């Protein structure tokens, strides 16, 4: 059961996740693999304010799951 929960904690492309500060982000691509280090990343876009124009990336290990909640 724990393994299934951990596995689900990785965002999936197209999902909307909510930051712990209640702001929403759309997952653009996850996982996206760094070509040199092979580290997994998530590419996401903020869905609030004027942030619609930009995208950002975050490593999955750096706390993507810790700072954002999966969709219900």
pLDDT for 5: 42
Residue 32 predicted with pLDDT over 90? yes
Give the length of the chain. 72
- Is the pTM above the cut of 0.75? no
Burial of 60 (0-12, 13-18, 19+ CB in 10 A): middle
Structure tokens belonging to residue 24: 């929403």
CA angle 1, 15, 64 (to 5 degrees): 65
Domains of the chain in sequence order? 2-69 (2.30.30.320)
Q: CA 20, CA 11: separation in Å to the nearest integer?
A: 15
Give 36's pLDDT tier (boundaries 50, 70, 90). Answer: very high
């Amino acid at each position: 059961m724990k393994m299934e929960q951990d596995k689900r904690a990785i965002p999936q492309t197209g999902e909307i996740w909510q930051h712990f500060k209640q702001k929403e982000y759309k997952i653009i691509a996850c996982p996206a693999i760094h070509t040199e280090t092979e580290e997994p990343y998530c590419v996401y876009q903020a869905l609030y304010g004027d942030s619609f124009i930009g995208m950002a990336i975050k490593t999955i290990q750096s706390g993507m799951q810790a700072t954002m909640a999966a969709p219900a």
